[in-house]
A and B are shown apart, each in its own frame.
Chain A
Amino acid sequence: MATVNETKSNQQTSETKYLSEFYHLPEFKGIDGYKKNGGYVDLEKALKMQPQQIIDEVKASGLRGRGGAGFSTGMKWGFLPKNDEPRYLLCNADEGEPGTFKDRMMMEKAPHQLIEAMIISGYAINSKKSYIYVRGEYDESINTLTTAIQEAYKAGYLGKNILGSGFDHDMDVYRGAGAYICGEETGMISSLEGLKGQPKLKPPFPAVQGYLRKPTIVNNVETLAVVKYIIRDGAAAYKKYGTEKSTGTKLFSLSGNIIKPGNFEVPLGYPLKDMVYILGGGFKPGRKLKAVIPGGSSAPVLTAEEAEKATLDYECLAEMGTMLGSGAIIVIDDSACMVECLANLMHFYHHESCGQCTPCREGTGWLDKIVHSILSGKGRMQDIELLIKIADNMKGKTICALADAAALPVLSFVTKFRDEFEYFVREGKSKVKGVAYVADHTH
């Protein structure tokens, strides 16, 4: 198997446009352009299959959730109770992880791709109703999706007795109200139910008791979109992309101090350094790589040395103590102060904690305040150790993963760039920028 992997991760200097093959075509957005380029063919094919066959195919493809957790999609679907209870399919388009902007592109450029894939998925799990929960700020996505759903209804792909198969499916777009926590699947369910967007205690898991206490599957935009292609090409063909355990291609959102930021689709297992230097175009003259956050702001940071060695797949990044997450690669060059970067992240998590669980509610604020007092030159040496202790004790102690998401960057920033933190405390100013920051941090 190793040899297969090696041949797969060959030096590849361009994207592998699998999902994003037609994204450059403006007509792909409308139903006619979409159908011209292979749209809704796979729905017809899927409706002729047995639902279980589709689930088996998805399982066989090795597809893992593209939203952050990387959980096997087929397995998730398998958790649904085997009965006739009404069930829901929710598409998680509340793309809020800092650094991530791939779902937005997918929804804006190819809304029908998502809709078709969702109808197929709905058919597979026998759900007659699905919602796309879109981040409130994504006006354009909401508009394109709403138009596209109307088109799909008109064309008979949604509604009663789709394409004469006897399968009914309805779809709606739900607009979020701007909370990061609503991207957590149970937080999203609460929000969709009209409650405050707070994650729910598990168990019961959504597949057993989710939206309106009915079995519910929540999948990311990209995850669902892939289902169409697994039906088109079959699991075996899909598995040709990527590595043994991280199959397929993935859209990566590249941002930070690089020349060409943007979304890039590459097979999993693609070297991170190629992503930065080849697809991302490298750095401004005189700048060099300092650190990379490989999977959205919650993923532990990688140092330049680690980043040079990393490949973009679930296993390699997990081995390095970080994660693929949502595929948001934030590149940091040597002009950035790591204390400042962490302060930015801490402000975010402090602001976004839903406030249910005490360790997260109080901990995120505490971390934020400590990092900001270091940033304003008023830090104490024991604060550095304290940051680690607080983060350690928030991790794994709460209902959802937001506390972990806040704790992991702290642990990685402080341990990997400890000298910058110590310098800041000792000298009262940034090692990189030579200044302290005025404490305008009022909470």
Chain B
Amino acid sequence: MSPITLIKCTINGVELEVKQGKTIIEAMSENAQRIAHYCWHPGLSIAGVCRLCMVEIEGNPRVQIACNTVITEGMKINNTSAKVRDAVKWGLDFHLINHPLDCPVCDQAGECGLQDQYMEYGKYDPEMAERKQRKRKVVDLGPTIVLDSERCILCSRCVRFTSEITKTHELGIFSRGDHSEIGTHDGKPLDNKYSLNTVDICPVGALTSKDFRFKQRVWYLKDADTICNGCSTGCNTKVYFNKEGVFRVKPRVNMEVNGHWMCDEGRDTYKFVNKEVRLLKGQKFANGTWQAEMHAGAAVKDAHLALSQASGDSIAVVLTGQHTVEEYEAIVSTFNDKFKTKNVFHWVNNKESFESFDGLLLRGDKNPNTKGLLDVLAKHGISSQWKNLEEGLKSGKITHLVVFGPENLPVFPDLQQNLNIFATAKNLIYFTSAAIPQLKNHASSNQITLIPLKTYVEKDGTFVNFQGKAQSFKRATTIVSEALTGVEAAQLLAGSEIRIKQVTEKQLFTSAHERKDQVQLEHRKKNEFVFNRGRL
């Protein structure tokens, strides 16, 4: 490999050293310089069609596009001169003349490239007095996406995505000139496992996600960084949430893990964190009936008492690859040291497809932290076989079974089967974030305790992905305040007196990201638009 040559250039008066071969727009975005652009995307090829990333280069009388101009030694570049600003303003105006300007009913409003650039370069009275171009509205492109052709600015990002990243080639630009429209070929809808990335990269409201559209205005959402728990790839993601729950997941850039993208499956991982599908309270099944719901703390205390009476190998623990390294550590050491049992079992879902990989991001191992679990088990010298659990339960050797169940139920096809096995334990203590009616309907003479767990967006922790890369993340929000993290559960089971910070209804869903001037949801629900801006 040839050594990397650095060359000097000046961008907006700032002297920079950049790698040879970099384009102006790359250098600018890497050095936090603002430049308007629509068609350029760091993860896609250069199209050079939006003509917005205009820069002035000393010695060149014409403004140039930054995306297709490679920096040369000593180049002096600026994008703040009146000439450039005027060029961008006109570039923007050409984008807007046929745009329907339907921001009030557009889902992209608030995160729209046209709005952003208009605030920066526009703010003029429109001069377009002619009739606008009419195009197709509400076009069903496939199972996940709806297209509004009139809003489309034909930046071709989505087309390049399907031809360069997924290589599925569903999208194309049809017709010519200002009749041009994005579309799919007959009988071949936009239906691939990464389709929703096109919505992310669409700078305007042309492509909207069927799942997310009209659910929330984006300015009512906060976002927080996290790691996807959909599979062992461990894509870096962002969750968008408010007091009503989590509404969507989008990828964050991490060139070592997921690049710019994430799969559609991973975007569904918000669906099992919301209240509707969660176990909210602790509950016990004893003497043939389900008792009244109880506080999680009380339930776990009961569990502690039950476990204290059992001894050593009559206790077993089942773990899935869905929890954090910190939780595994706490749980495994608690059971090793306190309860003196090495019966820690790894619940492996869909064994057959565990090693499969689609070549892009999707992995067959649908757990974010299988590697982390195996590491912790190995560290504690545990090598239990699943069949030992089944045998132990059958023979009655194992009487007390503690299960930390999965969050993401759909990827556990063997859920029902295993629940049946677990329920044969004399005393089953089942920690779960998901409500599992399968177990609730289970009739048995044994004792079952259900205790709510927190999901990945509600706790700090670390996932180790398939590469062995440990990725830590922070709590994004709290949805079920009573639910426990695995660490808290382990401590409580061991009998420690810990203070679990109680979150009041009012504190629930608060986040460090909250803005003071946020429109209050209660007001919005009542159709009162009150802005808490403080003194004006």
A201 touches B178 (CB 8 A): no
Q: Which of A203, A355, A364 contacts B173 (CB 8 A)?
A: A355
Contacts of A216 in B (CB 8 A): none
B130 touches A355 (CB 8 A): no
A351 near B: Cβ within 8 Å? yes
B91 touches A397 (CB 8 A): yes
B177 touches A366 (CB 8 A): no
B130 touches A373 (CB 8 A): yes
A362 to B46, CA, bound (A): 21
| Smallest beta-carbon distance B117→chain A, Å | 12
B435 near A: Cβ within 8 Å? no
Q: Which of A357, A386, A398, A443 contacts B127 (CB 8 A)?
A: A386
Interface residues of A in 180-210 (CB under 8 A from B): 196, 201, 203
B176 touches A366 (CB 8 A): no
Could you tell me the dominant secondary structure of chain A's interface residues? helix
A397 to B63, CA, bound (A): 8
* Of A359, A364, A373, A398, most B-chain CB atoms within 10 Å: A359
Q: Which of B62, B95, B177 contacts A353 (CB 8 A)?
A: B177
B455 near A: Cβ within 8 Å? no
B87 touches A393 (CB 8 A): yes
Contacts of B68 in A (CB 8 A): 201, 203
A370 to B97, CA, bound (A): 13
A364 to B133, CA, bound (A): 12
A373 to B128, CA, bound (A): 12
- Bin chain B's interface residue count: 20 to 34
Do A366 and B91 contact each other (CB < 8 Å), given the known contacts A179-B176, A353-B176?
no
B48 touches A361 (CB 8 A): no
Contacts of A179 in B (CB 8 A): 176
Count of CB-CB pairs between chains A and B under 8 Å:
93
B51 near A: Cβ within 8 Å? yes
Interface residues of B in 19-71 (CB under 8 A from A): 46-52, 54, 62-63, 68
The chain B residue with its CB closest to the CB of A179 is B176
- Bin chain A's interface residue count: 20 to 34
A359 touches B178 (CB 8 A): no
B177 touches A358 (CB 8 A): no
Q: Return the CB mask of B150-186 against A: 1 if under 8 Å, else 0.
A: 0001100000000000000000010111111000000
Do A398 and B98 contact each other (CB < 8 Å), given the known contacts A353-B177, A362-B178, A393-B87?
no
B130 touches A358 (CB 8 A): no
The chain A residue with its CB closest to the CB of B155 is A358
A336 near B: Cβ within 8 Å? no
| Smallest beta-carbon distance A178→chain B, Å | 11
A377 near B: Cβ within 8 Å? no
B119 near A: Cβ within 8 Å? no
A375 near B: Cβ within 8 Å? no
Do A350 and B51 contact each other (CB < 8 Å), given the known contacts A358-B91, A359-B94?
no
Q: Which of B51, B62, B130, B154 contacts A370 (CB 8 A)?
A: B130
A355 touches B154 (CB 8 A): yes
A357 touches B51 (CB 8 A): yes
Q: Which of A354, A380, A393 contacts B90 (CB 8 A)?
A: A393
A256 near B: Cβ within 8 Å? no
The chain B residue with its CB closest to the CB of A394 is B94
Q: Which of B46, B127, B154, B173 contacts A358 (CB 8 A)?
A: B154
Q: Which of A201, A359, A380, A389 contacts B129 (CB 8 A)?
A: A380
B131 near A: Cβ within 8 Å? yes
A366 touches B130 (CB 8 A): yes
A366 touches B128 (CB 8 A): yes
| Smallest beta-carbon distance B162→chain A, Å | 15
B95 touches A358 (CB 8 A): yes
Do A354 and B177 contact each other (CB < 8 Å), given the known contacts A365-B98, A396-B62?
yes
Contacts of A356 in B (CB 8 A): 47, 49, 154
Contacts of B178 in A (CB 8 A): 350, 353, 355, 361-362, 364-365, 443
A359 touches B127 (CB 8 A): no
A386 to B90, CA, bound (A): 12
The chain A residue with its CB closest to the CB of B98 is A362
Q: Return the CB mask of A23-65 against B: 1 if under 8 Å, else 0.
A: 0000000000000000000000000000000000000000000
What are 24 pairs between A and B in contact, CB < 8 Å? Answer: A201-B47, A201-B48, A201-B68, A355-B177, A355-B178, A357-B48, A357-B50, A358-B153, A358-B154, A361-B154, A361-B177, A362-B97, A362-B98, A363-B94, A364-B178, A366-B97, A369-B131, A373-B129, A382-B127, A383-B129, A386-B127, A393-B90, A393-B94, A397-B63
Chain B positions within 8 Å of A, measured between CB atoms, are: 46-52, 54, 62-63, 68, 87, 90-91, 94-95, 97-98, 127-131, 133, 153-154, 173, 175-180
Chain A positions within 8 Å of B, measured between CB atoms, are: 179, 196, 201, 203, 350-359, 361-366, 369-370, 373, 380, 382-383, 386, 389, 393, 396-399, 443
> 6 extra interchain contacts, Cβ-Cβ under 8 A, other than A361-B180, A398-B51?
A357-B49, A358-B50, A358-B94, A365-B133, A365-B178, A366-B128
